[in-house]
Amino acid sequence: GNSVTQMEGPVTLSEEAFLTINCTYTATGYPSLFWYVQYPGEGLQLLLKATKADDKGSNKGFEATYRKETTSFHLEKGSVQVSDSAVYFCALRATGGGNKLTFGTGTQLKVEL
Amino acid sequence: DAGVIQSPRHEVTEMGQEVTLRCKPISGHNSLFWYRQTMMRGLELLIYFNNNVPIDDSGMPEDRFSAKMPNASFSTLKIQPSEPRDSAVYFCASSLGIQDTEAFFGQGTRLTVV
């Protein structure tokens, strides 16, 4: 079946540090890939997405590239801010089989001054 | 649009009581998802509907949980009887049901069973 694997958290960084959160997936066909962010006390919000191989999704300084050869969709940001502290979820929606979204377990990011 | 609306935002109930969580998806969306989030298990998909029809309920924990979607603008998740281990944040999400479209989440219902 389809699955998403994320790196374990929490990840603690100093402000302006470089961020990478790894995400790999298993799916048949050509899934669409997403990163969602959850701020404390809120629901999940879409951060970025990519719908085909080699697409790069970007938003708010975050980027992720759909790598089919390595089945990966790693999230990166060049300089994190305290306001980026949140939980980040990688997700996929596979082709066929309905519209089920499969999420990873989430990675908590803490950014300190 | 006001987004996905869930009610109540918080619910505290005693063990054994029936609990009903409600969700109004975004108008025009034809897929609806119920998720449960806990510290131990993270975000779990309980059930999802396409065009008001349950497609996959394999994530529903046990017979005490049931979900309905009587029309395109309303869904309920019911727990009867509730137990302390059901304490969690329950999220409803909706989407257009097209592969590359995002799911929009409600703010969640925080359920505490004492």
pLDDT digits (tens, 9 = 90+) for B64-110: 999 999 999 999 999 999 999 999 999 999 998 766 678 899 999 99
What is the per-residue DSSP string for B27-94? TT--EEEEEEEETTTEEEEEEEEETTEEEE-TT--STTEEEEEEETTEEEEEESS--GGG-EEEEEEE
B43 CB neighbours in chain A (<8 A) are 44, 89, 103, 105-106
Pairing of strands B10-13, B109-113: parallel
Confidence (pLDDT) at B67? 98
Provide the pLDDT for residue B98: 66
Torsion, Cα A46 A34 B22 B19, to 10 degrees, reads: -120
What are the two backbone dihedrals, phi and then psi, of residue B70, each rounded to the nearest 5 degrees? -70, -25
Angstrom distance (rounded) from CA B42 to CA B16: 25
A101 CB neighbours in chain B (<8 A) are 33, 45, 93, 95, 103
